[in-house]
Amino acid sequence: MQTVKMVVTGPFSAGKTEFIQSVSEIDVVSTERKISSPAERSVKEATTVAMDFGRITVDEDLVLYLFGTPGQKRFDFMWEILSEGMLGFIVMVDSTRPETFREARSILETFRAYAPTPYVVAANKQDLGDAWEIDDMRHALRLDSKVKFLPCVATDKNTVKSVLLELLYSILAEMESGG
């Protein structure tokens, strides 16, 4: 059995766990714990502390694993471990919380430094009324026009599929260009 993996990363509460849950064929193996910080508890009740783990069986010989990283900075020692050997990575950004954009940028730079693998950035929660426009987010995140920046709703399987496909197209394009 051959296995490959992709990593889903991003700041706290960006929607990484939901993203993986939307396409994983198994219940996501999650390491959620109740949040102790009052400020963070106002955003959500529990958060990932080690990783999320989802699986998509491609055929009888090939399985894709999806790993979600913990979003809180104090668990960043897990990032490098999870990123080893990844095909590519997805940076999730909460479109409704501009206060997390700076951290998203920092996470993106950290993962780019870990490995020269292709990546895409997903603007999550685009279905909410107070979501930022994609162009405004691209500007705020200082993303180059060549970087794929995709609208996403982590609970909507179709948009999750689009994000995964765009990452795979990037991986294929890099392979074909000899990268």
| DSSP-derived secondary structure for the chain | -EEEEEEEE-STTSSHHHHHHHH-SS--EEEEEE---HHHHTT-SEEEEEEEEEEEEEETTEEEEEEEPP-SGGGTHHHHHHHTT-SEEEEEEETT-GGGHHHHHHHHHHHHHH----EEEEEE-TTSTTPPPHHHHHHHTT--TTS-EEE--TT-HHHHHHHHHHHHHHHHHHHHTT-
Which residue's CB is nearer to other proteins, number 96 or number 162?
162
The answer to whether the CB of 107 falls within 8 A of the CB of 114 is: no
Specify the stretch interacting with other proteins by CB under 8 A; choose among 8-16, 41-49, 120-128, 170-178: 170-178
Which residue's CB is nearer to other proteins, number 26 or number 113?
113
- Asked if residue 78 binds other proteins (CB under 8 A), the reply is no
Give the pair of three-digit tokens for residue 172. 């294929």
Which residue's CB is nearer to other proteins, number 42 or number 145?
145
- Single out the residue of 154, 162, 95, 164 nearest to residue 123, CA to CA: 95
**Member of 27, 39, 116, 177 binding other proteins (CB under 8 A):** 116
**Member of 110, 127, 140, 148 binding other proteins (CB under 8 A):** 110
As measured in angstroms, the least distance from the Cβ of 122 to other proteins is: 14
**Member of 29, 87, 134, 140 binding other proteins (CB under 8 A):** 87
**Member of 45, 84, 133, 136 binding other proteins (CB under 8 A):** 84
Which residue's CB is nearer to other proteins, number 71 or number 131?
71
- Asked if residue 81 binds other proteins (CB under 8 A), the reply is no
Binding site for other proteins (CB under 8 A): 2-4, 23, 56-59, 62, 64, 84-87, 103, 105-106, 109-110, 112-113, 115-117, 142, 144, 157, 161, 164-165, 168-169, 171-172, 175-176
